[in-house]
């Protein structure tokens, strides 16, 4: 008996049901064949050309990503576009791509929860609970919010975030001496949920991809923002997901190798 893409789909549906995805999202099998036999699996945040090359070097014929390769529908698939190059390269080399995105953000035990645990914030609530009736209304949804067991200054909390997420720097706004009591986290790009976090009493928001006017407005309202980067607020969870896949594959009696990408990195550099 061989592990197939369908088996990986079943494992991931159990962990992060696609019903939990946001309406604008696209999750599941992006490229490939559910009946295809799976060899080694590469886990990455993004399906970049470098990641595809890494999959080829490691004889991986399944790439699992958090960010969907096909977020927007392409009008053409040609080598004239980046997405076209990727799809053609994947099909040419019989590589499948499967993505779990906002469903993996939302679900209990998903990326939001994993990052909160890394920050030592295990007693938390959901910022925007799932709207799926009779499914995780209380513990699934976008964003998490928690009170610190030990209030601390913003300066100290910035250092805690860097240490816990293993990143070298963060962007932040607010008075360094401000005492932080209640923290909201929206992994990835979370500005759309700032007002909801504020309404729940957050005096600090951690997310990525922030823009000037949002941050400026919240600074005026006395709410600190820590921008730890889109990559920084999601990548630490991918090792946990890779370990989850290893365990679930093994308990089903398969021996497939699961590799965490070594080339998938944040596109930003800092001097």
What residues are designated binding site for a divalent metal cation?
Answer: 66-67, 105, 230, 234
| 195 Cβ contact partners less than 8 Å away, ≥ 6 residues apart | none
> 188: left (phi > 0), else alpha (psi -120 to 50), else beta?
left
Q: Which of 137, 175, 130 is CA-nearest to residue 156?
A: 175
Binding-site residues from annotation: 66-67, 105, 230, 234
User: Would you state the structure tokens that stand for residue 164, as one six-digit string?
Assistant: 């816990």
User: Which residue do the tokens 């093994």 mark?
Assistant: 250
User: Would you state the structure tokens that stand for residue 265, as one six-digit string?
Assistant: 């990195």
DSSP string, 95-125: -EEEE--HHHHHSTTSHHHHHHHHTT--S-E
């Amino acid at each position: 008996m061989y592990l197939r893409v369908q088996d990986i789909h079943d494992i991931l549906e159990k962990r992060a049901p696609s019903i939990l995805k946001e309406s604008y999202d696209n999750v599941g099998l992006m490229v490939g064949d559910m009946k295809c036999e799976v060899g080694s699996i590469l886990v990455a945040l993004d399906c970049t050309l470098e990641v595809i090359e890494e999959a080829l070097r490691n004889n991986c014929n399944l790439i699992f990503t958090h960010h969907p390769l096909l977020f927007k529908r392409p009008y053409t698939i040609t080598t004239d576009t980046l997405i076209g190059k990727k799809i053609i390269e994947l099909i040419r080399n019989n590589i499948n791509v499967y993505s779990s995105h906002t469903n993996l953000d939302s679900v209990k035990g998903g990326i939001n929860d994993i990052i909160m645990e890394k920050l030592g914030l295990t007693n938390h609530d959901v910022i925007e609970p799932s709207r799926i009736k009779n499914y995780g209304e209380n513990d699934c949804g976008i964003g998490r919010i928690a009170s610190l067991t030990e209030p601390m200054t913003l300066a100290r909390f910035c250092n805690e975030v860097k240490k816990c997420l293993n990143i070298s720097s963060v962007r932040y706004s607010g008075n360094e001496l401000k005492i932080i009591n209640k923290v909201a986290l929206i992994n990835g790009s979370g500005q759309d949920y700032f007002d909801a976090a504020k309404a729940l009493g957050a005096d600090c928001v951690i997310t990525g991809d922030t823009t000037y006017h949002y941050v400026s407005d919240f600074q005026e309202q006395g709410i600190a923002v820590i921008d730890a980067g889109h990559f920084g607020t999601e990548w630490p969870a991918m090792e946990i997901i890779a370990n989850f896949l290893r365990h679930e594959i093994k308990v089903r009696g398969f021996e497939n190798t699961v590799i965490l990408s070594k080339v998938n990195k944040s596109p930003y550099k800092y001097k």
